[in-house]
């Protein structure tokens, strides 16, 4: 990668009155990357992209694009473009006029504008007949594509997405997620996408940045975030994981404050005084038959069973709390709810998250 990042966000702080929405944010984005910022409501992700496209001004810090500062430029001069959550299509214009709007502003001749708009319609898999349609005649998914086509017509250096799929139904969202990823590959543009759904982020992104209270918690690839979350927050943000508090005894063996877990001697070495959680994903927990062994074992009672389509999930009540186990639907247990079971998992399935004694990362 080049020495100078494509987009460089340095020490950016944004305050609204006395509320600090972003607190000394640093982020580099490389050219052609699909970066997704994930965070709960109020984590500052929307604020960050509004600063990026120029809707709001930074309080402190700088944003540069290709080495040029853009945070001081007005929104209409920045080579960035945003796809709004509401899509912000212009209802008084046709589909074609919407797409041509940025070209019209640049003084492109009507015939050339039309050619480009029709190219973009084709790129977004919309029939040419949509050119003259009113926005109100388009469905949710079609509007989504029109908004994308309009953003592409602007030909920005970065396209920013503000949860544009959140209002759509599940199936359409899944289709458009894949289309968006595909579009990213075909156009080679830099995409910055925000969402509160880590699942959505996983499908599309090269890198994921997890935000919490105006700061980045972790910035990494989907694979890394999935298997090696840096904090309990990141771990729990990505759905159901099993977290067991662990501390290190003076002799280097683990202690389990929430309830004992059987650990094979030597399976887990914990420094004396170390505090944190042990994470294990539900799909990596097994039901042990009599005589089977694992690095970690825990016994309990099967309390519930949830069919998730291709997978099935179990809740097991143990001395260390409720444990979630997930496995392919074909391997559904024959044992009924209420049966005593023994759970087990191996050292390779375990990820340790260090925490300060008060529970924060």
Partner 1 sequence: MERLERRLGLLSALPIGILLLLSFVMPLLLVAGFAVMPQKVFELAHLPDFSSFAVIWEQGYYKSLLRSLGLAFLTTVILFLVSWPLAYGMAKVFGRFTLVITILVVLILFVSENIRLFGWSLSLMKGGLLEGYLRAWFGFSFETPLYDWPVIVFGMCYVYFPFMLFPLAQGISLVPDDARLAASDLGASPARILFEIEMPLAAPGIMVGCLLTFVLSAGAVAEAKLLGGRSVIVLTDDVESAFTFGQNWPLGSALSLTLIVIVALLALVPISRIDLDAIMGRKR
d(CA 37, CA 71): 19
Q: Should residue 91 be labelled a site residue for partner 1 when binding is judged by CB under 8 A?
A: yes
Question: Of the ranges 27-35, 76-84, 225-233, 308-316, which one interacts with partner 1 (CB under 8 A)?
Answer: 76-84
Binding residue (CB under 8 A) for partner 1 from 77, 125, 249, 347 = 77
Could you tell me the sign of the dihedral formed by the alpha carbons of 183, 188, 191, 195, in that order? positive
73 binds partner 1 (CB under 8 A): no
> With contacts defined by CB under 8 A, how many residues of the chain interact with partner 1?
25
**Among residues 159 and 343, whose Cβ is nearest to partner 1?**
159
Q: Which two tokens stand for residue 277?
A: 């959680």
CB of 84 to partner 1, least distance (A): 5
Q: Which stretch binds partner 1 (CB under 8 A): 17-25, 40-48, 49-57, 124-132?
A: 49-57
Are 303 and 322 in contact, with CB atoms under 8 Å apart? Answer: yes
Closest contact distance (angstroms) between CB of 192 and partner 1 is: 13
Could you say whether residue 81 binds partner 1 (CB under 8 A)?
A: yes
Q: Which is nearer to partner 1, 50 or 232 (CB)?
A: 50
Give the span between the Cα atoms of 126 and 191, in whole angstroms: 21
Q: What angle do CA 129, 170, 135 make, to 5 degrees?
A: 30
Decide: is 150 part of the binding site for partner 1 (CB under 8 A). Answer: yes
- Taking the C-alpha atoms of residue 357 and residue 333, their distance in angstroms, rounded to an integer, is 39
**One of 27, 35, 53, 323 touching partner 1 (CB under 8 A):** 53
Using the rule CB under 8 A, which residue among 5, 39, 44, 54 binds partner 1? Answer: 54
Residue nearer to partner 1 on the CB measure, 159 or 243: 159
Cα–Cα distance measured from residue 339 to residue 86, given in angstroms and rounded to the nearest whole number? 50
**Does residue 101 interact with partner 1 by CB under 8 A?**
yes
CA 316 – CA 358 distance, rounded (Å): 27
Of the candidate spans 61-69, 82-90, 196-204, 316-324, the one that interacts with partner 1 by CB under 8 A turns out to be 82-90
Separation of alpha carbons 34 and 7, rounded Å: 12
Asked if 154 touches partner 1 (CB under 8 A), the answer is yes
88 belongs to the binding site for partner 1 (CB under 8 A): yes
Stretch near partner 1 under the rule CB under 8 A, chosen from 47-55, 279-287, 293-301, 329-337: 47-55
Question: Is 17 near partner 1 (CB under 8 A)?
Answer: no
For position 68 contacting partner 1 by CB under 8 A, the verdict is no
Would you count residue 92 as binding partner 1 (CB under 8 A)?
yes
Q: Which is nearer to partner 1, 93 or 172 (CB)?
A: 93
Q: Which is nearer to partner 1, 76 or 334 (CB)?
A: 76
| Tokens 């994981």, residue located | 241
Nearest to 120 by CA among 136, 100, 141, 137: 100
Give Cα 85 distance to the centre of its chain: 16
Among 66, 72, 86, 301, binds partner 1 (CB under 8 A): 86
75 binds partner 1 (CB under 8 A): yes
d(CA 197, CA 147): 21
Q: Hey, which bits of the chain come out as E strands?
A: 7-16, 19-29, 34-38, 60-65, 68-69, 80-83, 158-162, 190-195, 207-212, 215-220, 242-248, 254-255, 262-263, 275-280, 286-288, 296-307, 311-318, 321-328, 340-345, 350-354
Strand partners, 254: 248
CB-wise, 78 or 207, nearer to partner 1?
Answer: 78
CA 332 to chain centre: 30
Give the C-alpha separation, 305 to 315, whole Å: 6
Residue 352 lies near partner 1 (rule: CB under 8 A): no
Residues that bind partner 1 (CB under 8 A): 53-55, 74-78, 80-82, 84, 86-92, 101-102, 105-106, 150, 154
């Amino acid at each position: 990668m080049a020495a100078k990042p494509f987009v460089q966000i340095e020490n950016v702080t944004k305050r609204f009155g006395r509320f600090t929405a972003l607190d000394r944010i640093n982020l580099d984005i490389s050219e052609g990357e699909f970066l997704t910022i994930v965070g709960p409501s109020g984590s500052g992700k929307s604020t960050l992209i509004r600063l990026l496209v120029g809707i709001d001004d930074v309080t402190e810090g700088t944003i540069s694009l290709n080495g040029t500062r853009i945070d001081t430029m007005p929104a209409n001069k920045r080579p960035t473009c945003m796809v709004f959550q509401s899509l912000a299509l212009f209802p008084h214009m046709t589909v074609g006029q919407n797409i041509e709007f940025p070209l019209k502003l640049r003084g492109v001749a009507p015939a050339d504008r039309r050619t480009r708009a029709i190219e973009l319609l084709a790129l977004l898999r919309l029939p040419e007949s949509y050119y003259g349609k009113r926005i109100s005649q388009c469905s949710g998914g079609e509007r989504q594509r029109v908004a994308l086509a309009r953003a592409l017509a602007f030909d920005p250096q970065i396209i920013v997405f503000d949860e544009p799929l959140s209002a759509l139904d599940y199936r359409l969202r899944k289709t458009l997620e894949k289309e968006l990823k595909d579009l990213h590959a075909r156009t080679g543009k830099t995409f910055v996408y925000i969402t509160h759904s880590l699942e959505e982020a996983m499908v599309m992104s090269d890198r994921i940045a997890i935000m919490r209270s105006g700061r980045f918690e972790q910035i990494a690839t989907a694979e890394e975030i999935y298997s090696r979350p840096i904090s309990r927050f990141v771990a729990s943000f990505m759905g159901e994981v099993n977290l067991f508090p662990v501390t290190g005894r003076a002799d280097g063996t683990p202690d389990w404050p929430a309830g004992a877990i059987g650990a094979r001697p030597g399976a887990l070495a914990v420094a004396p005084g170390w505090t944190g959680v042990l994470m294990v994903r539900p799909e990596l927990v097994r039901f042990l038959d009599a005589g089977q062994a694992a690095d970690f074992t825990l016994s309990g009672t099967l309390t519930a069973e949830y069919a998730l389509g291709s997978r099935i999930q179990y809740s097991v009540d143990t001395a260390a709390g409720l444990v979630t186990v997930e496995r392919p639907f074909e391997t559904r247990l024959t044992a009924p709810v209420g049966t005593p079971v023994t759970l087990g998992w191996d050292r390779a399935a375990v990820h340790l998250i260090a925490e300060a004694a008060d529970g924060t990362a």
